[in-house]
Structures are given as C-alpha cells and as structure tokens.
C-alpha cells in the first residue's frame, strides 16, 4: 500500500494551553499550542513548527440548474468541466440528447424533479419544488462545490470542510428585477400563481445566498444585481467565448441581423416594428412564444428563421451589416461572437453589453427600449459604419477568450482555499 501524502506548513497559534502539537489526519490541521512550557523532547520542537495533515485528491461537484439544451450557461459549464475533468454534475433535469459530448462524458446526478411527469419539457412548472430538491442532494465527500446559477442551484447544503463558489449568470431574474416583465407575458394561470410563489422563492433565494463562500459575477451589471438581491460582494469573471470559431468575410451584405429567443424580455417586437418602418432588410434568427405574433406583423423586408445550422449562423454573423441587440441581458454572448466575426453591434445600452460594446470602436448604443429610439440608433449607426474597422471588433472580442475565464476561475478557487 502506498504511503499517504502529507502537506507541511506552519502551524496555527492558540494561547493558554500547554506546549504539545500533534495532528490526527482525520481531525484537520494541527494546532501550535502556547510555548510557556518547555518541549518534552526534540521531536516536539519539530511538531511545534510544522503541521501534518493527510492530503487526498480534491473532489469537485458542479451544480447546474437544468440541462435541457445548449445555451450560454451550458457553454460556461463546458469550460468548467474542461478545467475540472473529474467533476461530477448535479442538476434538476437532464436530457442527454440535448447537450454536448463534453457534458455527456461526465457523471450526472439529478434531483427528484427528473422523475416528475413531463419534467424534461415543462421543468419550469416545478420551480417551487426546486429549493427542497437541492437541499436533498448529498454532497458529502466533495471538497469544492461550484454552483452555476441562473435557475436554482446555489441552495445546496455543503459539507463543513468544503468550499462553495457560485458562478452567477444572474440572480433569478423572473423573481427579482424582471419579475414585472415575466408576469406581463405569462398565461392567466401563471399570472395568478406567480405572486404567491415568487414571494416564497425570494425569501429562500436570499437565505440560500449565505451558503455561498464566494460569488463570481459574469458582468458588472450582474455584480450590481448580486449586491442588490443578496447584499454580497462578488468577483468579476466574464464568460468564455471561443472566438477562434468565428471568421470575418470580405462579402458584407446590407442586411441587419437579430439573434435570440423570441420571448418578451428580449424585445424582438421593437426590432420588427422599427424595421417595418425603416424598410431595411432584417434577418431574425430564433424561436419562442412570440413567433406567430411576430411573423404576422413582419413586412417582406423582415425574415424570421426559427434556427440556422452553426455554419449558416457563422456566415450570417460575418456578412451582416450589423447586429441589432434589443435585450437587457446579463452578459450577452451573441454580440461578442458577432464582433469576433468582424462586424459591429447596435445594442440597447443597459446590461451586460456595457462590458462588451465600446461605442465608436465595435458598435453603438441606443438608449431606450422603444421603436423610436431604435430607429434613431439605426440612423446614427448608418452614419458611423463607414468609419468602422473590422479588426477593432475582432481584437475587442479577444478579451473574452476561454483562457481569460480559466485564469479568473482558478484565482477564485485559490482565494477561497486560503480563507
């Protein structure tokens, strides 16, 4: 049997006790006791200067809210798994067919939500049960817990000796600052239930923030939301964007591009109405609850495609006149991908895009989420585009390469380990 490996480091000092320093590997760090008495023998002098504890391989658990598709949160999860290749995943619901090979290669544990009727398709309906489901997960034996929070994930109960880092894509926006928007677009039954359920969820969400040792925000916008919702400070580590996957093109069209889910808070409606009035060509890529309504409103110059293959999407990025970004997003990976493709962005100037869009370099802002403000923004964009340099956009996107993300996460892990 191989001998156990030991770490050697200076001992802690505790006053008022006799001078004996011993270490039981099962009980944690040795204690340097007060030295008013003389050591009994030479060995005690060595023990008084060093502590010995058993070192075993670190086990990592990553808690992700749900795994039913590949969006921004899942791309972050992929990068975390590359950094921690032996990590286990815990989640509420898991659809292996909807995620990448990187995720499927890991052991995935689910909460009891997975066994509920229709959970893969209608997991949001079980949101009120997710706090209890998280608290039933057994994380004993793990040393590092990383929760990936946008839906409920940080509320796990961690062992006393483990460190818990929360990478927060956003406090749950549908119960906090964007609650009125979600309520407005909800169905009748959901609108009736939401006030009661979200009241409970806010209390639990705030209380469970105390279970986190260290918060990491994905943007300065989310840093402010963490402070407002949880009264906690956070480090800033932008999410990873693999800019090497994108390329520029010499063939640029006069067509604008909009990409995202066709849901209320992303405000695709103002893009359709603005371009209906402008008469300029717009390609909208996305699907969602507003698809039928927007298709009925769109004039012939506005094309709505539910989805594009990755190669088609990259081509659309590289050849568009510019990206129209109407959402108030936590970070927003699509603008960075478009910049990496050498094209500029016209973005609503609130939210995570304040970290990515540099006015006059890789894009411009419009300042109100209204049709008139967007139309004014397009006019300013048209006047500025001849001055745009694609290489400036490409260089600005490199700030969000995966290597930067990895550096930030490793620094946070070291900081927590030193607490």
Element (H, E) at 314: helix 310-319
User: For the residues of 358-383, what is the DSSP string, one character each?
Assistant: -BTTTEEEE-SSSHHHHHHHHHHHHH
User: Partners of 302 in the beta sheet?
Assistant: 282
Decide if 126 contacts 116 (C-beta within 8 A): yes
Tokens of 198: 């979200």
State the pLDDT at residue 84: 95
Nearest to 397 by CA among 272, 195, 248: 248
Q: Quick one: CA torsion of 148, 223, 368, 174, rounded to 10 degrees?
A: 40
10 Å Cβ neighbour count for 223?
19
3 state SS of 260: coil
Give 10: exposed, middle or buried? Use CB within 10 Å, 0-12, 13-18, 19+.
exposed
Radius of gyration of the chain (CA): 26
**Residues 362-375, buried b or exposed e (16+ Cβ, 10 A)?**
bbbbbeebebebbb
Cα–Cα distance for residue pair 219/237, rounded to 1 Å: 7
Between CA 121 and CA 126, with CA 122 as vertex, the angle to 5 degrees is 140
3 state SS of 357: coil
Provide the whole-model pTM.
0.80
State the pLDDT at residue 196: 77
Region for residue 77 given its phi and psi (left: phi exceeds 0; alpha: psi -120 to 50; beta: otherwise): alpha
User: For the residues of 110-126, what is the DSSP string, one character each?
Assistant: E-GGGGSTTTTT-GGGG
Cα–Cα distance for residue pair 89/324, rounded to 1 Å: 35
Tokens of 363: 């894009």
> pLDDT 10s digit of each residue in the chain, 419 long?
444 443 434 333 333 333 333 344 444 444 333 433 444 444 444 434 443 344 455 899 999 999 999 988 999 999 999 999 999 999 999 999 999 999 999 999 999 999 999 999 998 889 889 999 999 999 999 999 999 988 789 999 999 989 999 999 999 877 767 667 766 766 777 777 777 787 888 888 899 999 999 999 999 999 999 999 999 999 999 999 999 999 999 999 999 999 999 988 899 999 999 999 999 999 999 999 899 999 999 999 999 999 999 999 999 999 999 999 999 999 999 999 999 999 999 999 999 999 999 999 999 999 999 999 999 999 999 999 999 999 999 999 999 999 999 999 999 888 877 65
10 Å Cβ neighbour count for 155?
23
Cα–Cα distance for residue pair 302/283, rounded to 1 Å: 6
Cα–Cα distance for residue pair 43/190, rounded to 1 Å: 70
Domains, the chain, ordered by start:
6-54 (no CATH), 60-240+402-417 (3.40.50.2000), 243-400 (3.40.50.2000)
Strands 60-64 and 144-149: what pairing?
parallel
Tokens of 185: 């677009």
State the pLDDT at residue 182: 67
User: Partners of 61 in the beta sheet?
Assistant: 88, 145
Decide if 87 contacts 106 (C-beta within 8 A): yes
3 state SS of 15: coil
Tokens of 332: 């927003």
State the pLDDT at residue 176: 66
State the pLDDT at residue 190: 72
Helix axes 390-397, 333-340, angle to 10 degrees: 130
């Amino acid at each position: 049997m191989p001998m156990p490996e030991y770490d050697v480091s200076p001992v802690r000092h505790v006053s008022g006790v006799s001078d004996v320093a011993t270490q039981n590997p099962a009980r944690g760090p040795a204690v340097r006791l007060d030295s008013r008495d003389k050591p009994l023998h030479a060995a005690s002098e060595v023990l008084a200067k060093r502590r010995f504890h058993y070192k075993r391989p670190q086990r990592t658990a990553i808690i992700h809210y749900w795994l039913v598709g590949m969006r921004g949160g899942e791309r972050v999860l992929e990068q975390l798994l590359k950094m921690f290749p032996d990590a286990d995943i815990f989640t509420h619901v898991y659809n292996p067919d909807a995620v990448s090979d990187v995720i499927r290669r890991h052991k995935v544990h689910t909460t009891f939500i997975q066994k509920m009727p229709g959970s893969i398709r209608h997991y949001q309906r079980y949101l009120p049960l997710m706090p209890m489901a998280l608290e039933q997960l057994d994380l004993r034996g793990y040393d590092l817990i990383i929760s990936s929070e946008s839906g409920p994930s940080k509320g796990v109960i961690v062992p006393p000796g483990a460190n818990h880092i929360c990478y927060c894509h956003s406090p749950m926006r549908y119960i906090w600052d964007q609650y009125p928007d979600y309520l407005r677009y909800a169905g009748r039954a959901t609108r009736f239930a939401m006030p009661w359920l979200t009241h409970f969820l806010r209390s639990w969400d705030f209380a469970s923030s105390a279970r986190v040792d260290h918060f990491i925000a994905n943007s300065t916008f989310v840093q402010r939301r963490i402070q407002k919702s949880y009264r906690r400070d956070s480090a800033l580590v932008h999410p990873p964007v693999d800019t090497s996957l994108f390329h520029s093109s010499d063939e640029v069209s006069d067509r604008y591009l909009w990409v995202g889910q066709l849901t209320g808070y992303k405000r695709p409606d103002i893009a359709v109405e603005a371009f209906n009035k402008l008469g300029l060509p717009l390609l909208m890529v996305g699907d969602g609850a507003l698809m039928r309504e927007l298709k009925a409103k769109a004039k012939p110059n506005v094309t709505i495609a539910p989805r594009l293959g990755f190669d088609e999407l990259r081509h659309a990025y590289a050849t568009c006149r510019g990206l129209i970004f109407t959402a108030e997003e936590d970070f927003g990976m699509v603008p960075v991908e478009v910049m990496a493709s050498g094209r500029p962005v016209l973005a609503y100037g609130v939210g995570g895009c304040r970290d990515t869009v540099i006015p006059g370099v890789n894009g411009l802002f419009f300042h109100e989420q209204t049709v008139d403000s967007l139309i004014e923004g397009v006019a300013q964009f048209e006047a500025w585009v001849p001055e745009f340099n694609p290489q400036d956009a490409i260089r600005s996107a490199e700030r969000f390469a995966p290597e930067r993300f990895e550096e930030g996460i490793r620094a946070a892990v070291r900081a927590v380990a030193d607490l």
